[in-house]
Amino acid sequence: MSELLRLENVTKRFGGLTALSDVCVSVRRGEIFGLMGANGAGKTTLFALIGGQLRPTAGRILFKDQPIQGKRPDQICRLGISRTFQIVRPFAGISALDNAIVSSLYGAAARSRAQARESAMAALDAVGLAPFADRPAGELTLSGQKRLEIARALATGAELLLLDEVLAGLTAAEVEPMLETLAQLRRRRNLTIVIIEHVMGALMRLSDRILALDHGEVMALGEPAAIARDERVLATYFGGA
Ligand SMILES: Nc1ncnc2c1ncn2[C@@H]1O[C@H](COP(=O)(O)OP(=O)(O)OP(=O)(O)O)[C@@H](O)[C@H]1O
Ligand SMILES: [Mg+2]
């Protein structure tokens, strides 16, 4: 599998606080790459650096071998990277379809209004929201709104999705279908997915590899089975092996 994204010695400081320290990692095309770590470990900051909402203090971020650090979010989006936000933020008053159309027009996929509508509809369909296309986004359940976040990211035409806690707040019954949706997206749309998740079991099942961050540093990186046995991970998550 070839490499799609590479972080080289990425550091991010906020004043005196080092949110990420010398992170080196690469994500392969077509993989589901899990990102775990305690609150404040630097997970969302990592997404903001990749998505262009923040600039690294040091280090390089390469997408398809091209450096992207310092580019604007809209430029990065057009290159094929799209992220969802931990706190869902749809345009609540407009329909699910119009939300996805806005994303499609913003991203690389659409050349015309008709194309935007088409890719928006395909994105809604891919996350199971086609029946709710005309529903105001604010009227969807939390699970529906999380799905809409993913549809909006998809509608941009992204090849790389960065999903920030799309399972958080879902009921136990909603988690399983969401996992199936994510696995299907990778299979059917050739996507590469980086997913931040606190629901450990789900992350372990879904991911090909997992990166565990601890206070902004790489604590462990590897296949789920290896992460589940990692002494530092066990100590951090379960208070000792
Ligand atoms: N814009 C900012 N300005 C200052 N400090 C920030 C900023 N964004 C994040 N931080 C700090 O950087 C650290 C990492 O935060 P981040 O949001 O990346 O953590 P996280 O791993 O996503 O945590 P959570 O699981 O709670 O979402 C925290 O100490 C946080 O307070
Ligand atoms: Mg976060």
Q: Which of 20, 23, 43, 165 to mutate to test the pocket of ligand 1 (most atoms within 8 A of CB)?
A: 43
How far apart are the CA of 43 and the centre of ligand 2, in A?
Answer: 5
**pTM for the whole thing?**
0.94
The amino acid at 56? P
For the segment 112-136, what is each residue's pLDDT rounded down to a tens digit?
889 999 999 999 999 999 999 999 9
Q: Which uninterrupted H or E stretch holds 184?
A: helix 172-189
Mutation pick for ligand 1 pocket among 11, 12, 13, 45 (CB with most ligand atoms within 8 Å): 45
Q: Rounded distance, CA 77 to CA 184, Å?
A: 22
Q: Which residues surround ligand 2, an ion (CB under 5 A)?
A: 43-44
d(CA 81, CA 75): 9
Q: What is the DSSP code (8-state) at residue 136?
A: B
Nearest CA to ligand 1 atom 30: 40
CB 91 within 8 A of CB 137: yes
CA 19 to centroid of ligand 2, rounded, Å: 11
What residues are paired with 63 via a beta bridge?
A: 5, 66
User: Would you say residue 1 has pLDDT above 70?
Assistant: no
- For ligand 1, atom 24, the nearest C-alpha belongs to 39
The residue with greater pLDDT, 221 or 241, is: 221
Which of the pair, 1 or 53, is modelled with greater confidence? Answer: 53
In this prediction, residue 236 carries a pLDDT of 84
pLDDT digits (tens, 9 = 90+) for 189-238: 889 999 999 888 899 999 999 999 999 999 999 999 999 999 999 888 77
For ligand 1, atom 5: residue with the closest CA:
14
91 vs 28: which has the higher pLDDT: 28
> If you average pLDDT over residues 163-183, what whole number do you get?
93
What's the whole-number average pLDDT of the chain?
93
Tokens of 88: 């869902």
Distance CA 224, CA 4 (A): 20
